[in-house]
Amino acid sequence: MATSQADLEKAYGGKAIIFKPEAGFAILGFSKEAGELSTLTTSVNQNALTTPEVNASGFSAWAGGWSAWAGGWSAWAGGWSAWAGGTGTIPTTPSENRFAFNQINLAPAFTFSKNFGEGIKVAVIDTGIDLNHSMFSDRLAPSNEWKDYVDGDNYPQDVSGGGAYGHGTAVAGLILQVAPKADILPIRVLKNDGSGDVSAVASAIDWAVQKNADIINLSLGTNVDVAALKSMIDYATSRHIYVIASAGNEGNSNSISYPAAYATSGTNAQYLISVGSTQSNSTLSPFSNRSSALEIAAPGEWLYTSYPGNQIAEVIGTSFSAPIVSGALALAASETSSTNLSGLETYLLNGGWAISASTRHLNVKSMLSYVPDFQYWRKVLFVVGSYPMTPADQLVNDQLWQMGFNVTVKVGGSSATSDATGKDLVVISSTVTPADVNTKYRNVSVPVITWEAALFDDLGMVTASSGYYGTASNQTSISVSNNTHPLSAALRLGDLSEYGPGAAYSSGQTLSWGKPTSSAIKIATLTGDASKAVIFGYDPGTSMVGLNAPARRLGFMFNDTSPLQIRDSWWTDWLFKAAINWAVSGN
């Protein structure tokens, strides 16, 4: 009976790559050819360890099926500072990925996130990463935890040349776009051509476990059911570490790659999650492997992410869907107590919607709503003109609840400044009588949104003179003048159209407008009058009229009945949610 590592190596003549007697297995590597290993027996360790996996030269891991081009980093240089710096405000989603992230409801999730993945360590087992990339500033695990199983050192730098160069850098960048305060543990197992030995992958998983990774991202796989790989996956999941594995890119209709294929079997299967790719219409990408073992899917086409040399890349493949899911889990894990961590896969799957009999589509905001100690923690004061509310105010109230806010409704005349205490946002409808509200919320250090134009001056958002605020009737369009800001919801420049050229609404609407100071952020104006802003805001501390903004302030285009357009106009819905998300993120 082999009871020690030395006994096992002597009995089989191979080197013990992994020796885990407490877990009941070992992995041996051999210099012999696969055919020479057939005479090995298991009698020596029959009662001590499970049969060692023969790791000959025939097995390899891959990270294939992706394409990339290296773009100018300057295009995102301004946007990344919020991600890399780990500031207290919600990061701005890069505009190039905004539509993909709208598919997974990431912006609303950021609205409610308190920690953004902080304290969660994600091991990226891949081609290494660009360790000097500015996106990873202050976001890497301590350097004494890094590992390179290709070069045999502790410097897992993405190596230039080869078709997979930059793969790991791109994967890590996507994780940080979803969980910007998570920590990345870089472990290199794949060469720049995307190939690598299973022994290296197994060793890397063991290393990640030793370094207390919370999540392991495996954007790699093999088409062979390799016991060594299965043993190490089981070892990690038995220690309640989440392993996220990509499904592969061959377009198989009834099989996915290993280790993703192990996701629905085993004692700790809830800790192994298989990930496929979706396209822009939220259906599975044609190249994405699928089977009954495919659990979740996320955008995997034309994503923009980090690339070596402080650049960006456009990438495609299930390899890049997996890190989006890893980021989502990191985001959720940082927002809940340790007692709920075992339920993360349940929250993930329950939060998604079905795109096949076995596969759900990722919805980050909905996933967070299932986390027991996370629901409705953000509070909104909604000030209205009457109670019961008008149909338009009721719709706004319902939308706020659906977005995950805990809403307190107050009638303007009976509302007080103190009602804003402990709230994360104050929303004031135009149904209020302006004199009933006046300056009650002018100085509160809580974000305020209103679409009552007559309150713009009371709040210090415009000059208190005729011609600086008002309403415009019979409006069927608005003109978007700034579509790079989150308030624009990434909508195109120019006259916003849904019902025809220049037509924003199917019928004329009354819109509120104001003429803010030069410090304001102007997003959209009345069509034909660029001086009258219908969506404008102030960041905290910026100059308004008579005061600096105590917190974010936002003037929005609605009027008494126009919120009803949320039901009929997709872009109105997007703009409203973008306004709420931006305002509340200023806390």
CB atoms within 10 A of CB 264: 17
Phi, then psi, of 436 in degrees rounded to 5: -75, -25
Which secondary structure element, helix H or strand E, spans residue 582, and what is its range?
Answer: helix 570-584
SS (H, E, C) 111-134: HHCCCCCCCCEEEEEEECECCCCH
Q: List 354's β-bridge partners, or say none.
A: 360
Cα torsion 221, 267, 331, 204: sign: negative
Q: Which of 113, 126, 257, 366 is catalytic?
A: 126
Q: The tokens of 276 are what?
A: 């496929």
Distances (CA, A) of 287 to 163, 257, 293, 407: 18, 13, 16, 44
Say whether 240 is catalytic. Answer: no
Say whether 419 is catalytic. Answer: no
Residue 581: helix, strand or coil by DSSP?
A: helix
Q: List 513's β-bridge partners, or say none.
A: 470
Find out whether 472 and 460 touch, Cβ atoms under 8 Å: no
Q: List 361's β-bridge partners, or say none.
A: 297, 353
Residue with structure tokens 């890590």? Answer: 172
Residue with structure tokens 């709503």? Answer: 369
Find out whether 203 and 15 touch, Cβ atoms under 8 Å: no
- Supply the DSSP symbol for 482: -
Find out whether 224 and 257 touch, Cβ atoms under 8 Å: no
Q: The tokens of 101 are what?
A: 């992230």
Q: Which of 60, 274, 319, 369 is catalytic?
A: 319
Say if residue 486 is preceded by a cis peptide, omega within 30 of 0: no
CA neighbor of 97 nearest in space, from 118, 79, 84, 70: 79
Q: Which of 113, 130, 148, 167 is catalytic?
A: 167
Find out whether 555 and 482 touch, Cβ atoms under 8 Å: no
Q: What's the angle, vertex CA 160, arms to CA 159 and CA 164, rounded to 5?
A: 85
CA neighbor of 140 nearest in space, from 192, 90, 86: 86
Find out whether 126 and 167 touch, Cβ atoms under 8 Å: yes
Say whether 7 is catalytic. Answer: no
- Supply the DSSP symbol for 243: E
CA neighbor of 477 nearest in space, from 453, 455, 451, 506: 506
Catalytic residues, by residue number, are 126, 167, 319
